[in-house]
Chains A and B, each alone.
Chain A
Amino acid sequence: MDTTTATTPMNLENSPAFTFTASTFQKLHPIEYFRKFVSQGVRPDGRLLNGFRPTTVHVGVITTANGSAMVRLGGTTVVCGIKAEVAEPKLDSPDQGYLVPNVDLSPMCSSAFRPGPPGEQAQVVSDAINRVLKESKVLDLKDLCIEEGKAVWTLWVDIVCVSYDGNIYDAALASVMAALANVRIRNPSYAGGIIKVAGGEAISDENSFRLKLNRTPLSSSFALFDTSLTLLADPNFAEESISQGQISITIDEHDELCAVSKIGAGSSSQALLRQCVDRARERSKELRAIMSAQ
């Protein structure tokens, strides 16, 4: 037994009880663990600080929906399904349809979410997407009119998170845009208060219509790490939980800003914001290429 020798400082350092494996160190001091990587310009998952995770987009994955898309952003997987239904228009906008995006973060996708009504994060993301769609006029709601004052289309845009690993906003917005571009609705006919669509034959350009999208906003998010406010592009779950704040830049295909949001992390300089916008521009081009390759 070398219990006696362990009391001397030199042996204490070599004693196995005081050296941790990397995974133990990560659990005990997540921030310090991360800082060690960031000081070398990399992240624990091997990405560079401004690197986004591999992204895949598949459209038309759900046949029961009018339009659908699945987006995978590293470990985050979201499925967006759009169903078109008929509703009465609002009195003050008799020729405008409805576009209703909602994000569902179920307890299946991560242990961070509880069952029941939408939690805080789900509400925030739903509202952010709703705002981007409305404010940047992605869709002219008048296109959804069937009969003025009587009937309009309602697009129920539901985003289901299948697997959660951070950066839900980027993934959800990309899936919404891909699904909107995928929507096909059969031409309706209005007669005596009843809306009918023709069934039977396969859906084609003659018997259905697509949505005209005015612009395609896509977002890029960055986590702000540490007091130095190091930018980490596309944060995963672990990075989100230790970050000081987050910046999301939403850009359309003409490189125009649609939305900018910055949460937490005290004050950030203009240079930092510009850095984000520049990187977001590159990223949105990459993502657009992935989406159009579909």
Chain B
Amino acid sequence: MDRKRVPGPELSVAPLVEYPIDHERWTPQQEKRHDPKRQPEDLRPIYLKTGLISQASGSAYIELENTKLACGVYGPRPVKKIGQGFSGMGVLNCDFKFATFACVKRRNNTRQDPQEKELSQILSQALAPAVRLELLPKSVIDVYITVLESDGWGSCLAAAITAASVALAHAGIEMLDLVAGCSASYMQIGPSISSTTTETSSSSGAGNPITPQIQIFMDADTEEEKYEQGAIVLAYMPSLNEVTHLLQNGKAEGPIINQSVEHCMEACNKVYAVMHHALLESMKESKDA
């Protein structure tokens, strides 16, 4: 039993949601996105601001419509853990956390969450190549992420990478380049395979008519992720033109992966412009103050 929190019932569940029979749900077969205003290659508009956390060395808040997260960077500060020994390189320690109300299903924070562990590790792997850790021996940089609301797993991770690298820059930590994150999902669109025969003439993919048409949706939201065949999250340093982390899961053929990596790189360049703008704004603000 957890004595450090106000206790609630031991077991509680979300109620079953019953949809009326005539309720029309979004599916990729409708050949448009969940948000019909978005084109497949469109990202959601990004709001990015630095300096929200007054106590942190550097901080950033990012919002992609319903994906909202805050990042705080502390350090570089001396390594306090005993037994870690001397290290000529600095340590980048990332901690990724979801607020209990961030997802559709409530997250229980009393237990260690393996997904949060995984995301923390991915985040530090994506950021470490950009940070000049060799200049910071015997020190540790702590990057803390709190997701206030998540709308899409991939977009959440991508937003975290983007926000964390802006927060690192805001903290004045030397980096080779900013790391921009971007996610993409691939899913089968158009009529399902059984009925493709009528569509073959209009489908752009010449050749094998049985091959379902795969569409890449950039920055997919939760509803779209339900139907995805696979997804990709790319962390990319735009001005060095180097990829720091690439995560692909699910089923996809080589050309689709190549194509989505290219799409993500392009999108990262757009994200980079937003990051630049946010940092310049923070410079202006500190100058005025």
If the complex has contacts A108-B144, A158-B101, are A199 and B23 also in contact, measured as CB distance less than 8 A?
Answer: yes
Kindly list chain A residues whose C-beta atoms are within 8 Å of the C-beta of B17: 196-199
Of A1-9, A17-25, A36-44, A82-90, the one contacting chain B is A82-90
Instruction: Say which one of A115-123, A223-231, A280-288 lies at the interface with B.
Output: A115-123
Residues of B within 8 Å of A65, CB to CB, are 101
Chain A residue at smallest Cβ distance from B70: A162
Asked if A222 lies at the interface with its beta carbon under 8 angstroms from chain B, I say no
Say whether A208 faces chain B, with CB atoms less than 8 Å apart.
no
Of A94-102, A209-217, A255-263, the one contacting chain B is A94-102
Measured in the bound complex, the distance between the Cα atoms of B74 and A183 in whole Å is: 35
Does A81 interact with chain B (Cβ within 8 Å)? yes
By beta carbon, the residue of chain A nearest B71 is: A108
Are A81 and B97 neighbours in the complex by a CB distance under 8 Å?
no
Contact A196 B145 (CB under 8 A): no
| A164 interface residue per 8 A CB criterion | yes
Q: Which residue of B lies closest to A179 (CB)?
A: B101
Contact of A188 among B6, B13, B15 (CB under 8 A): B15
Assess whether B72 is in contact with A108, with CB atoms less than 8 Å apart.
Answer: yes
Complex interface: chain B residues within 8 A of A130 (CB): 6
A30 at the interface (CB under 8 A from B): no
Is A237 an interface residue when CB atoms closer than 8 A count as contact?
A: yes
Chain A residues contacting B66 (CB-CB under 8 Å) are 63-64
Contacts of B95 in A (CB 8 A): 107-108, 115
Q: A118–B100 contact, CB under 8 A?
A: no
Report the minimal beta-carbon distance from B282 to chain A, rounded to whole angstroms: 15
B149 pairs with A63, CB closer than 8 A: yes
The reply on B1 being an interface residue by CB < 8 A is: no
A163's partner among B7, B14, B55, B102 (CB-CB below 8 A) is B55
Give bound CA distance, A107 to B140, whole Å: 14
Instruction: Knowing A79-B148, A109-B53, A110-B55, say if A98 contacts B18 (CB, 8 Å).
Output: no
The residue that B99 contacts in the complex, of A63, A81, A112, with Cβ under 8 A, is: A81
- Please count how many residues in chain A sit with their CB below 8 Å of the partner chain's CB atoms: 55
- Taking a contact as CB atoms closer than 8 A, the residue among B14, B54, B74, B101 that contacts A75 in the complex is B54
- Stretch in B103-111, B122-130, B179-187 with 4+ CB within 8 Å of A: B103-111
A160 within 8 A of B: yes
Task: Provide the residues of chain B in CB contact with A118, threshold 8 Å.
Answer: 4-5
Residues of A within 8 A of B (CB): 61-65, 68, 75, 77, 79, 81-83, 85-88, 98, 100-102, 104, 106-112, 115, 117-118, 122-123, 126-127, 130, 154, 156, 158, 160, 162-165, 186, 188, 194-201, 237
Q: Give 21 CB contacts A-B under 8 Å.
A: A61-B68, A83-B106, A85-B12, A85-B14, A85-B15, A85-B106, A87-B9, A98-B9, A100-B7, A108-B56, A109-B53, A111-B55, A117-B2, A123-B4, A130-B6, A158-B109, A164-B55, A165-B54, A197-B17, A200-B19, A200-B23
Q: List 7 A-B pairs, minimum CB-CB distance, nearest first.
A: A81-B101, A108-B144, A100-B8, A75-B54, A87-B9, A87-B12, A199-B17
Chain B residues with a Cβ under 8 A of chain A: 2, 4-9, 11-20, 23, 52-56, 59, 61, 66, 68, 70-72, 74, 95, 97, 99-104, 106, 109, 142, 144-146, 148-150
